[in-house]
């Protein structure tokens, strides 16, 4: 039997959007397109000029940057759901044009006061609300690198072994002396793993990818999933005093749902200098179902 955790990484997206509320995005090209969606074929809403500063709204797309629409852009809502400029339903889509075929660029809630600029065939032309997002090519935007969100993984439920036969697989790579030269490591994912460890109290403040160990090879670990700190979780061995088996960087909302459960996790593994426990990014998760 398989169990799928359904969602759109809402926790990670909320964190990304919240952190981006006031961060500026400087336009680095002339007549750069502002589009209704992160796609070259999306509706062109306006153009920005070199030196213009926009407000960051979404920094999770590797090729596009979501920004607050400038006031020069007109957006649209269905007039029947607005009374005296106030949104009536619980939620109302804001669109890039006056039809249901146009892209949704934001959602406003009941009670939101809109600035109405005109109407066309039952549609209201409005000033961009704070909830709206339009998109600019990352090639023409001076902004921090994209925030990479970990995807959710299909969780397969499998029978747990008999208690007397249960065994937690512990990977014990040999400890090597600290290596100062790390130029041989060409693994951006390894560096992201090391950076994520900065918020884990039990780990050293600075971790360096080990250039003498294979980075990104797929391995399998098992144990009880626990929160480690920051965006990292860890598998622990209940038969060895909850010793740490490995650290896990997965989708935060999914990891939280699985916390405290006995799991088998498979995925690419990354190792740091002078640290026995590896870091794993899940691509397969098995939930061990205890016998009833």
The domains of the chain are located at 10-73+131-143, 75-127, 155-289
Q: What is the CATH number of domain 75-127?
A: 2.30.30
Residue 146: DSSP 8-state: P
Q: What share of the chain is helix, strand, coil (3-state, %, to 5)?
A: 15, 35, 50
Per-residue pLDDT tens digits for 36-57? 999 999 999 999 999 999 999 8
Tokens for 159, please give them: 């029978």
Average pLDDT of every residue of the chain: 80
Q: Characterise 258 by phi-psi region: left (phi > 0), alpha (psi -120 to 50), beta (else).
A: alpha
Tokens for 120, please give them: 């066309």
93 - beta bridge partners?
107
What is the C-alpha separation between 111 and 116, in angstroms, rounded? 15
What is the C-alpha separation between 46 and 50, in angstroms, rounded? 14
Q: Which fold has domain 10-73+131-143?
A: SH3 type barrels. (2.30.30)
Whole-prediction pTM value?
A: 0.48
Top-level class of domain 155-289: mainly beta
Kind of pairing between the strands at 53-58 and 104-109: unpaired
Evaluate whether 156 touches 286 at the Cβ level (below 8 Å). yes
Per-residue pLDDT tens digits for 84-121? 999 999 999 999 999 999 999 999 999 999 999 999 99
Q: What pLDDT score does 147 carry?
A: 56
pLDDT band at 150 (very low <50, low <70, confident <90, very high): low
Q: What pLDDT score does 279 carry?
A: 94
Domains 10-73+131-143 and 155-289 share a fold: no
Tokens for 249, please give them: 């960087």
């Amino acid at each position: 039997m398989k169990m799928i955790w359904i969602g759109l990484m809402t926790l990670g997206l909320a964190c990304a959007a919240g952190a981006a509320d006031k961060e500026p995005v400087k336009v680095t090209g002339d007549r750069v397109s502002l589009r209704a969606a992160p796609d070259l074929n999306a509706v062109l809403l306006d153009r920005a000029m070199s030196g213009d500063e926009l407000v960051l709204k979404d920094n999770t797309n590797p090729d596009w940057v979501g920004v607050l629409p400038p006031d020069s852009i007109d957006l649209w809502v269905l007039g029947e759901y607005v009374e005296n400029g106030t949104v009536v339903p619980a939620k109302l889509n804001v669109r890039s044009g006056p039809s249901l075929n146009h892209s949704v660029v934001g959602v406003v809630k009941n009670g939101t006061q809109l600035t109405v600029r005109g109407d066309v065939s039952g549609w209201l032309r409005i000033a961009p609300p704070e909830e709206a997002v339009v998109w600019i090519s990352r090639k023409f935007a001076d902004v921090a690198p994209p925030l990479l969100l970990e995807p959710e993984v299909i969780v397969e439920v499998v029978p747990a072994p008999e208690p007397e036969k249960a065994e937690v697989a512990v990977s014990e790579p040999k400890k090597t002396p600290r290596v100062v030269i790390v130029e041989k490591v060409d693994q951006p994912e390894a560096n992201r793993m090391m950076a994520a460890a900065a918020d884990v109290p039990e780990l050293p403040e600075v971790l360096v990818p080990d250039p003498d160990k294979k980075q990104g090879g797929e391995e399998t670990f098992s144990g009880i999933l626990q929160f480690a700190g920051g965006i990292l979780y860890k598998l622990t061995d209940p038969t060895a005093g909850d010793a740490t088996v490995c650290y896990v960087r997965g989708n935060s909302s999914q990891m939280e749902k699985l916390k405290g459960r006995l799991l088998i996790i498979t995925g690419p593994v990354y190792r740091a200098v002078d640290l026995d426990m590896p870091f794993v990014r899940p691509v397969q998760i098995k939930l061990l179902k205890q016998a009833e």
